[in-house]
Amino acid sequence: MRHGLIQWDEADLSTESVRARQARLQQALVDEGLDGLLIYTNHVRSAAVTWATGFTPYWSDALWLQPTEGAPLFATALSKRVGNWIAATNPTSEIEHSPKPGGLIGARLTRLGAARLGVVELDRMPAGLMAEVVDTCKAELVDATELFAAVRAAPEAVEAQLAVKAAAIADEALASIPALRTCAGDVMQAVELSARLAGAEEVYVAVAPDLSRDTRFARVKGATPLAARFAIRVTLARHGVWIRRIATFARDHDDGTLAKIATWFDTACLDLAPVSGLANKLSETPLPAGLNLTAWFVEAPAVGRPLQIVGEDGQDLVRTYGMANLTLCLSSNDGPVLLGGPLLTKQTL
């Protein structure tokens, strides 16, 4: 579930910004001859509805319907007792509660006389909820994943600024790791505490405790010993915008090498953008002496998942994203170096 701070903050994301997004979706629906757009959300597949409304459910699930005209309907299985909280954090949608939210959506579509309904990630829709929809409405269902993805990908300053804030929270959390660190619990506790005290909506901390043996990240037990070189991955959200920050550490003392590599990465990210052609640009980016690029991938909130791989070795990005996250795996004589952080389209900054 979501445990962290969830509040509506007009300064971070205004109702005007959200309504502008909804208007862009409505125009796309009209252009495609669709009568509405249906999106599912839970806290795992939250990104599409979060982008369209600013809202993330802490638990349970919901359906969000954007008709071509008028306000959207948010139909949720969350009980009415948390209705005030939902309304406060989802101020642009009409809120309805039911153990069968699909029935509410179907009834609304019937009332609107909808004939063609676009559904985002149709094949991933929950079967039980969709049965409630089709039992109460006769509209033709059309997969609208690409329609949504195209509208959603447009760069926005508001999203970039939230990503910058999220990255700052992650950097502060990584900086809070104590100098004396012998086991994974030492770093996981410090990072978790710092990020949540700074107002992260959610944070996942994973550790690669011994890079000389394994570069994979995991949620290891707190007592797991840290080897001479280890890495931390902080995945966190601020108002629905997710980033991953990855840093490689020397357990005992860094002679400055890892710090210089981290600085190089941050500088390199300023010259890179989540656009088609990134693969070439990355291959042309000079690496610090002694390092080789062994793997890379880019994640973006393309549709429902907050971070989803959209480009990697041998597969360039197919479109421009407003924000994305880059992960690099480098090799050196001293062992692997793992790095990660957000990539932003410059026009949004």
Partner 1 sequence: MVMGVRTPEQARRHRLAEAMAEAGYKHLVLFGNAWQNDYLRYVADFGILEGEGLALVQSDGSVVLWLDDRLEAERAGVECPDLEVRATNDLIADVSAVIGRLGNARLGFAPHRIMPLGIAGSASPGHDDATALIDRLLMVKAPEELDAIRRAAHLADEGYEVFRNAARIGRKDYELVAETEAFFRANGVDDNFMLIGSGGPELRGMTPPTGRILREGDQVITELTPCVDGYFVQICRTLVLGDPSPAQQGAFDLFHRAMVAGIDAVRPGATAADIARAENDVFRADGLGDFVTSQYTRVRGHGLGLFPDTKPHILEDVETPIEAGMVLIVHPNTYHPDAGYMVLGDSLIVGDDGAEILTRTPRSLFANGGGTAS
Task: Map tokens 């931390």 to a residue.
Answer: 232
Q: Of residues 70, 178, 222, 225, which one binds partner 1 by CB under 8 A?
A: 222
Given the complex with partner 1, which of 154 and 220 has the nearer CB atom?
220
Contact 163, 243 (CB under 8 A): yes
219 binds partner 1 (CB under 8 A): yes
The least CB distance from residue 119 to partner 1, in Å, is 9
Using CB under 8 A, which residues numbered 11 to 40 contact partner 1?
Answer: none
Q: Of residues 69, 85, 115, 140, which one binds partner 1 by CB under 8 A?
A: 85
When computed from its CA atoms, the radius of gyration of the chain, rounded to whole angstroms, is 22
The single-letter DSSP state of residue 81 is G
The least CB distance from residue 5 to partner 1, in Å, is 4
For 217, the token pair is 């990240």
338: which strand partners? 329
Cα–Cα distance list, 156 to 14, 124, 148, 152, 347 (Å): 13, 27, 15, 10, 8
318 binds partner 1 (CB under 8 A): no
> Three-class SS of residue 168?
helix
Positive or negative CA dihedral for 89, 91, 92, 93?
Answer: positive
Q: Of residues 104, 112, 125, 167, which one binds partner 1 by CB under 8 A?
A: 125
109 binds partner 1 (CB under 8 A): no
Q: Of residues 114, 232, 307, 324, which one binds partner 1 by CB under 8 A?
A: 307
Positive or negative CA dihedral for 259, 282, 330, 242?
Answer: positive
Q: Of residues 11, 81, 267, 289, which one binds partner 1 by CB under 8 A?
A: 81
Task: Map tokens 């109702």 to a residue.
Answer: 15
From residue 271 to residue 300, what is the string marking binding to partner 1 with x (rule CB under 8 A)? --------------------------x---
59 binds partner 1 (CB under 8 A): yes
206 binds partner 1 (CB under 8 A): yes
Query: By CB under 8 A, how many residues form the interface with partner 1?
Result: 60
C-alpha 43/C-alpha 62 separation (Å) is 10
C-alpha 37/C-alpha 53 separation (Å) is 13
319 binds partner 1 (CB under 8 A): no
Q: Which residues make up the interface to partner 1 (CB under 8 A)?
A: 1-7, 42-45, 58-61, 79-82, 84-85, 88, 122-130, 185-186, 188-190, 192-193, 195-197, 199, 204-206, 214, 216-222, 235, 297, 305-309
